[in-house]
Every structure is written in C-alpha cells, then in structure tokens.
Amino acid sequence: MKKFPNDFIWGIATSSYQIEGATAIDGKGPSIWDAFSRIPGKTHNGETGEVACDHYHRFKEDIQLMKNIGIKAYRFSIAWSRIMPTGKETINEEGISFYNNLIDTLIEADITPWVTLYHWDLPLALQLEDDGWLGDSMPDYFAAYADVCFERFGDRVKNWITLNEPWVVAILGYGQGVLAPGRISSSEPYLAGHYLILAHGKAVNIYRSKYKHQNGLIGITNNCDWREPLTNSKEDKDAAERALEFFLAWFADPIYKGDYPMVMKERLGNRLPVFSEDEKEMITGSSDFFGLNHYTTMYASNSNGIIKEGSVYGNGGISKDQGVDLSLDKNWNLTLMQWAVVPWGCKKLLHWINERYNHPNIYITENGCAYADEIIDGQVNDQERLDFYQSYLKVCNEAINEGVKLKGYFAWSFMDNFEWALGYEKRFGLHYVDFKTLERLPKKSAYWYKDAISKNSVDF
C-alpha cells in the first residue's frame, strides 16, 4: 500500500466542448469547433459536439456520479462563447447562470471546482474578425473575458487555469491543421504560441492586481510527453533534451525564466517572436503552480537534418525545426490512441520539471488512456485502464518520496466524450457513455479510483 500525502488532491477532468452539448441555445455563440467539426472530413464520421454528453442539461446527475466516486476536485472548462457570444463586450447572463449553478452544485457536493478558462473552443467571431490566436488583440480579449469570470465566479472558485495545452493549440491548430481552426504553416504556430503566453500573462496580472482579496491560485496547464534518448550517444541525449525544450520549455521557460529557450532562438531565428522587456516582466513568475497533462513516452534521436518518414511534427515544434526523430519500443503496450504505456517516463518528466523550474508545486491535471471499452453483461471490465492508472500513480508516489512536490492528480476523463477530430470512438472515461441514449455506466476503473481516493493510497 503506497500512501499519498494527507493534503494530496484527487480529481477528475473534462472540457466544455467535449461534454456540454447545447452548442446553440440560451444565448451561446458559435466556437471554432462548432464550425470546424461541420466541415466534411474534419472529424471521425462527421461527428460534432452539438449534443456530446448533454452535460449542460444533466450536470446535476453527473455531479452526483462524481460524488458517488468520492471525487474531491473537479477540473472543468468554461466555454468562452457561452459567457461572451462574440468573445468580447456582450455578456450572456444565461451562460453565467449555467456556470453559477454548476459551481454551486459542486460545492454542495463537497467537490472543489478547478476552472480552466480556455480549452480550445475559441469564439468563432474572434477567428473571423480578429484572426484568432494570430491576432495581436487576442491577449487583451482573453484578459477581458478572464476578468468577467473572476468577477462572477471568483467568490467560490479558488483554483484557476488560464490555458489548457497551448502547444496543442499552436501546433495542431496552426501548424498541422488537424484541429480547429485547421491552419497549416511552419511559422504561424510560433506566433500563436506567443500570443497565448501573453494572454495568460495578462489574465494573471488582472487576477493578482484586481482580485487579490479572493485568495485564490492561478496557473497554466501545459502538456508534455517524456523523450528518452534512443542511445547513450551525446547526439541522442542532446536530441531528447531539445525535444523537451521545443515541447514543454517553449511555454514553461517564458513563465518561469522570462524568455524562450536558447535552442529555439538559435534554430528559429526571426520566426520566433520576441518579448519586450515589459512583457518579460509581466509573464515571469505568472503561475502559482505547474499544471501538467501527461500521457506517453517516445524515444528521441538526432535526425542529422533528415526527417524520417512518419515523423510529422516531432513533438513540440515542427520536426525539421528541432532536428529530432521519434520512435517507439516494439515491446511497449499501446492504448487505442497508439500511445505507449510507459510509467517510468512520467516519473522522469516530473523530475525534469522539478529540476529545471526550481521545485514548483506540480499538479498532474490530466492523465489517462483510451481503450475499446465494451459492455458485457451490463458491465465494463476495463482492466487495461485500471492497470494504467495503477502503474502511473505508483511512479507518482515514488516521485513524491524522491522529493518532487506533486500535489494532486486529475484523471482524464470523468466520462467518455467527444474526442475532438477523433469523434466518439476513443473512450477515455471512467464512465462508459452510450451515445445513443446518453446513459452512463461506471467502469471497473471508476470503482478502483474510488477506493484509492477513500484510502488516500494505491495498492500494488
């Protein structure tokens, strides 16, 4: 039995577009995902989040399911266009009412809300009128939206996350075009990333200066997968470090060190925007904790300027920019996403963050896996998912005992949902959702997670 610290936070996570549905009612404006998912060929079977899990209408039922599991903290995101239909100026009071009711119901159930302000569903009007995250007005629009959320919800919400996975927004939305808004470019990801960082900084500045009396915490969540050197050669060790810098340090270095990693400056030249001195001052130290979404591990080797077939975007930057080739060990087990299950990579990443960023408080704000769950005799016996969580929580416990200040863990996800371009086929949830009837069924891993939470420990 591996015991966790008494104040360790056990949570679960979702995002607005993936579960809420109700995309065009009660004053909500369209988002880039409402538009993108309706373009033929952009999502699996043309599926959209129009209904999703219908959480908008069934949130009380869903919160009761969370309470049944014993969830202590719930990380959810606010749909910007539900609060401000065009992303700016006009406030939709019906949207405010929905989130007020959601937050109040969580608190009544003794579940602490952790609110993410942006989880990829940008108001469509900002994309059409202001060029989305390529527009220099975006940081101010985001800060104004954040201000509304702090004012309306901050009396009860004490844990804020500004952005979820800006790397994904920049690379998959503006580099590879596989996610909304679907742009393909070798330079736009770095500009989008730049404005995302500034948007985070401006929102934090408003929170700390205007809402200090609320006594809350605010941070950002970045995603990163571990990169292990393929060999012990200096070239491959350097490649693995470079891959992590193009991936995680791209967004974390400005916040913890005040500027981009030197390797990015050297390799990108004028494609990498420059922070002014005032901007550096604003963003440095602008996160009260280190939010981390982690899923998998790959081997990294130096590409010598030759990008091998199949290496599309490397990991964290475009392949030719970082000069890294990625590969898997054929003996690693894979999830339905073809992501390798490598728990030791999680522990190595936690130590890397701990050492590079001077021992911050870390919260794993997402960790989970997709498998082809089936209902058999009225049950989902998802042993593979249970094994996944058990193995990753084991190394989390080890990292804590080795000095890493890991303070909490949020399983992804509460229930099966709309998995972006992959539609409803990839099932990450602790609850099975029948998307024809929208019925929920707890999986075996849900009961195991409930046991871990109640005992504040994991049995190995």
SS3 of residue 206 by DSSP? helix
Distance CA 429, CA 445 (A): 9
State yes or no: cis peptide before 319, omega within 30 of 0: no
* Token pair recorded at residue 338: 């073809």
Three-state DSSP at 427 gives coil
DSSP H or E run through 74: strand 73-77
N-to-C CA span, the chain: 6
Q: Which one of 20, 241, 245, 366 is the catalytic residue?
A: 366
DSSP-assigned letter for residue 213:
G
**What are residue 297's phi and psi, to 5 degrees?**
-140, 145
To the question of whether residue 18 is assigned a binding role by annotation, the answer is: yes
**Contact 124/81 with Cβ under 8 angstroms?**
yes
> Is 295 annotated in some ligand binding site?
yes
22: left (phi over 0), alpha (psi -120 to 50) or beta: left
User: In this structure, what token pair is assigned to residue 367?
Assistant: 């960790």
- Give the angle 348-350-351 at the CA atoms, nearest 5°: 65
Tell me the DSSP string of 336-359. Answer: TT--B--HHHHHHHHHHHHHHTTS
Report CA-CA distances (Å) from 47 to 35, 132, 414, 425: 12, 23, 20, 10
**Is 366 part of the annotated catalytic residue set?**
yes
* CA dist 76 → 7, 73, 160, 413 (Å): 21, 10, 10, 10
Annotated binding-site residue? 412 = yes
Return the structure tokens found at 101. Answer: 């009711």
Amino acid identity of residue 367, one-letter, is N
- Residue 109 backbone dihedrals phi, psi, to 5 degrees: -90, 5
Rounded to whole angstroms, how far apart are CA atoms 151 and 154?
A: 6
Q: 256 with 358: CB under 8 angstroms? A: yes
Which among 47, 165, 188, 279 is annotated as catalytic?
165
Per the annotation, the verdict on 165 as an active-site residue is yes
409 is in an annotated binding site: no
Which residues are the active-site residues? 165, 366
User: Which residue ranges are tagged as binding site?
Assistant: 18, 119, 164, 295, 412, 419-420
User: Which residue ranges are tagged as binding site for substrate?
Assistant: 18, 119, 164, 295, 412, 419-420
